[in-house]
Amino acid sequence: MNQLRDKLVAAAERLRRTSEEINTVPGMQAQAEAMLDRAERLTANRFTVALFGAFSAGKSSFANALMGDLVLPVSPNPTTAAINKIMPPDEAHPHGTVRVVLKSREAIEQDVLRSLAVFGLSASGLEGALAELSKIDVTQIPPTAKPHYTFLKAVTKGLGDMTAHLGGELLVDMQAFKGFVAKEEKACFAEYIELFYSCPLTDQGIVLVDTPGADSINARHTGVAFEYMKNADAVLFVTYYNHAFAQADREFLLQMGRVKDTFEMDKMFFIVNAADLAASEEELQGVITHVEKNLLTCGIRLPRIYPVSSQTALLARMHEKCKLAASAEKVYRQRTQTAEGEPLMAADEAFKLSGMASFEVDFLRFTIEELTQIAVNAAVSEIRRAYDTLGEFMRMAQSGESERLARREAATASQAAARSAVEALVTTSQERDLAKEREELVYYVKQRLFFRFAELYNFAFNPAVLKDDGRNLKQALQGCLTDLLRSISYDLAQELRATTLRLEKFINKQGVSLVQAWQKDVQAHASSLTLAPYQSRQVETLTFAEDLPVGPAAFQPALSLFKNAKDFFEQDGKTKMREDLEKRLQDPVAAYVATGSEQLDEQFQALFTEIVASERARVIEQIDAYFTGVFAALDMNVDLGELEAKMNRVAAELA
């Protein structure tokens, strides 16, 4: 793994040396500067690996196995979990430093009010909201609302100690870090936590992001999770050996299924943790097949699935460092089937046995190695472009005087013609294509939502919540409706986020085509000029409304169809209510999608205009720079010997 970082640093050095060579050549200063920028990015390069999975899937255990030590404590509750980033140490943050970024008072207030609304309660202000907590009847809390109640209790307990720090950040040590992860009354106030920790993973510039479970109740976590899913270099989804996929897992995996085709390379890895629980190879294969089928229903085909025992892997890593305590050694012997008194199994053997060795080989080969090679190849292409330009200038400077005069006259006309061609390109049809793509993508959002409606409805209105056991059924029905409306707005927002990513891919393809069209126009007048490739834009993901544009009152006639649990589940009560709700939801869903479509239209039209203007300016700048060099060569304003020496030194960077 160490060679990967070295490769990037070596490529950066090659760029810096080439930049120094060409910086004094007329017309090549902009290219020299671009090389330095790329070198800077390579040196500071970070690979981000995002870890997803439901609460209790063993994510922390798996992360510890990747790092080779007991670094992350287990969070007690998905409702309060913060985002943990394990970062390479730097000068400002030595090994073991922890930076805790705390939520603002406004963010905490929004979270509290949103959780309070689950119980049909509202308030103004944070303290006022927490005072409402006493009105909640603990015996009447449905399962889906329990995480919200736990969160509200945690905020109440910790607010006194944390008030002074809200909106700020704290630098703490590892001991305090464990408190922020493990204690709910602290964890619920953390926006994210950065742990600067040196281990084989981070020493390669890899940042490991441990996200809250897919079942986190924090509304902002949905958007943050999407950003990591989109921007991470690798996405690891951890599921536990004998756990079925929960609804929260399924929602997350559906989103992965929606966006996977927009990624340039397959960056998803699926981990089946605690594989050592399998009684036989056949049983293990059965679980893997079950996971494959579940992923297929979420639109994820041919997944890379790795059965692992993260506990065995971690014990192997610790044995390698001679850090096995007596209790850990006992577990290690059990896992490796080594009798008391026998020599312990070698660490590398146990690591292979855990399944982690097989995963790590593929993980490094298909993501980090490949991404490193892509970055190095781009650097080499940049150096080759500089070499070709130097060669062209050399040939011009070596030509006879009469030829140089004729070529100078032709070059003046060519520069003007190339500039005119670039200015003349009309992009009206591309604008129409972009609008059409957006309309088509948005059209199917509403259709897909109602295709899933029965599933969402059945999950919200289920027998576990609507029991005739003395509970307040009217309140329970309202809770079911709240769950349904939230799951619908959540699904629509996720669909629109996925649409953003598809449009980002589409507009970047347009950007590539635009530069290719200009390349063709330019080469008609300057055959040796190769334009720098289009740099893909990363689009900021919009924030979509958390709720449908309609209140619960609009659905009371549908809820009034409920007579009792027996009629609802055993007769046709459930079907009647579903059909009624589906009709009443048509307009609010259409309005939500229309608003989202307007947001996307505004964002992408503005982006398209910016791309055309900035790329046009960039191409014209390259034309002018190229001809500055051409005129210098034709006017003999260059030292031929020095130019040749520079060419040879740049050629050496390509060897």
Cβ contact 505:602 at 8 Å:
no
pTM: predicted TM-score of the whole model, two decimal places:
0.85
List phi, psi (to 5°) of 577.
-65, -40
Q: How many CB atoms lie within 10 A of CB 465?
A: 19
- Burial (CB < 10 A; 0-12, 13-18, 19+), residue 448, is middle
| DSSP sequence for 323-345 | ---HHHHHHHHHHHT--TTSPPP
Q: Is the pLDDT of residue 218 over 60?
A: no
- Assess contact for 136 and 149: CB atoms under 8 A: yes
Alpha-helical regions (H) of 261-369:
281-297, 310-320, 326-336, 347-353, 356-363
**What's residue 653's pLDDT?**
94
Summary mean pLDDT of the chain: 89
Q: pLDDT at position 81, please?
A: 67
Q: Give me the phi and psi of 248, to 5 degrees please.
A: -65, -40
Phi, psi of 64 (to 5 degrees): -60, -40
- Residue 72: its H or E element: none
Question: pLDDT grade, residue 364 (50/70/90)?
Answer: confident
Please tell me the predicted confidence (pLDDT) of residue 324.
86
On the CB side of 533, CA atoms within 13 Å amount to 10
The larger pLDDT score, comparing residue 387 to residue 144, is at 387
Length of the chain: 655
Q: How far apart are CA 184 and CA 590, in angstroms?
A: 39
pLDDT digits (tens, 9 = 90+) for 479-507: 899 989 999 999 999 999 999 999 999 99
pLDDT, tens digit, for every residue of 318-337?
Answer: 899 888 888 888 988 988 88
Q: Which residues pair with 235 in a beta bridge?
A: 50, 268
**Quick one: pLDDT at residue 2?**
62
Euclidean distance between CA atoms 305 and 618, whole angstroms: 44
Least confident of 292-306, 457-471, 590-604, 635-649: 457-471
DSSP secondary structure letter of residue 162: H
**Range with the poorest average pLDDT among 216-220, 434-438, 470-474, 556-560:** 216-220
CA 208 vs CA 46, 95, 173, 186: distances in Å: 10, 15, 19, 22
Q: Is the pLDDT assigned to residue 219 strictly greater than 70?
A: no
Res. 215: pLDDT tops 60 = no
What is the predicted pLDDT for the residue at 16?
96
**Residue 203 burial by CB count (10 A; 0-12/13-18/19+): exposed, middle or buried?**
middle
The pLDDT tens digits for 47-100 are 899 998 876 677 888 999 999 888 888 766 655 567 889 999 999 999 999 999
Number of Cβ within 10 Å of residue 33's Cβ equals: 12
Give pLDDT, residue 283. Answer: 87
Percent of the chain with pLDDT over 90: 52
Q: Which of 210-214, 239-243, 454-458, 632-636 has the lowest mean pLDDT?
A: 210-214
Please tell me the distance from the alpha carbon of residue 295 to that of residue 310, in angstroms, as a whole number: 22
Structure tokens at 147: 């995480």
